[in-house]
Structure 1
Amino acid sequence: MKEPKLTVVIGASPNPDRYSFLAVNRLRAYNHPVVAIGKKTGDINGTPVIAEHPALENVDTITLYMNPQRQQEYYDYILSLRPKRIIFNPGTENPELEARAQQQGIETLEACTLVMLGTGQY
């Protein structure tokens, strides 16, 4: 079994029709600890969706479910967490944030978290 990776889901939604909802559930099913951050608070099967930007340590992955325009207000927060990687899910691709992250030595991937989990690439 792979090592659990602390993952921050930005753009998390308590709406079961959203991919971020599925991602939080799937990450937890694979035993990855998850911090779910969204515009609206709520709950995803026991994982709280918070609107705050908590200070976190040892963040392995940030996975984005928010369009590039909405990401701008999160740039400083995302970079302050010093994750090992940022996953830009389909529709979240953002060359500006990718470049800023890469300048700080953060790996960036344009990929799908759900596919990565399902194929063992996470």
Structure 2
Amino acid sequence: MNKKTLVLGASLKPERYSNIAINRLVNYNHEVKAFGLREGEIAGISIDTELLDYEGIDTVTLYLNPARQAQYYDYIIGLNPKRVIFNPRTENPEFYKLLSENNIEYEVACTLVLLGTNQY
């Protein structure tokens, strides 16, 4: 099942997990949107540097540390995704509470592991 995914914290550096995740999501035939600080392209996906009002986002997968997430709380909640994935080192109990209050599921997991084990 194709899950339209927004990768928040996308990096052009190929060794970064956000970059690897974009490549894997594309390989698994998920529709991918990416937001990062620098414009560029990964696996044919353009990195947006402006917060766009994407329609139909199923999953937001975070690659931002908790201190950097706060400025995106309202944006992510406004997208009304079905779930938010907190990858390793992005864990944020304050944001979990806000998501729960807005009926948005969250997972503390690794996108790469979820994809590799057919649990995405």
1:48 corresponding residue in structure 2: 46
Percent of residue pairs bearing the same amino acid type: 53
Are positions 1:81 and 2:76 aligned together? no
* Aligned-CA RMSD value: 0.7
Q: Which blocks of at least 5 consecutive residues in structure 2 are unaligned?
A: none
Task: Provide Cα deviations, 1:2-21, integer angstroms capped at 9, x if missing partner.
Answer: x1010000000111010000
Paired residues for 1:62-81 under 5 Å: 62-81=60-79
- Using the size of structure 1 for normalisation, the TM-score is 0.96
Q: Which blocks of at least 5 consecutive residues in structure 1 are unaligned?
A: none
1:5 corresponding residue in structure 2: 3
**One-letter code of the match for 1:5?**
K
How far apart in 2 are the matches of 1:40 and 1:97? 25
Aligned counterpart in structure 2 of residue 25 of structure 1, from 23, 26, 38: 23
How far apart in 2 are the matches of 1:104 and 1:86? 12
Moved >3 Å (runs of 4+): none
Classify the secondary structure of the residue corresponding to 2:26. Answer: helix
1:45 is displaced (CA, Å) by 2.4
Aligned counterpart in structure 1 of residue 112 of structure 2, from 98, 114, 119: 114
1:56 is displaced (CA, Å) by 1.4
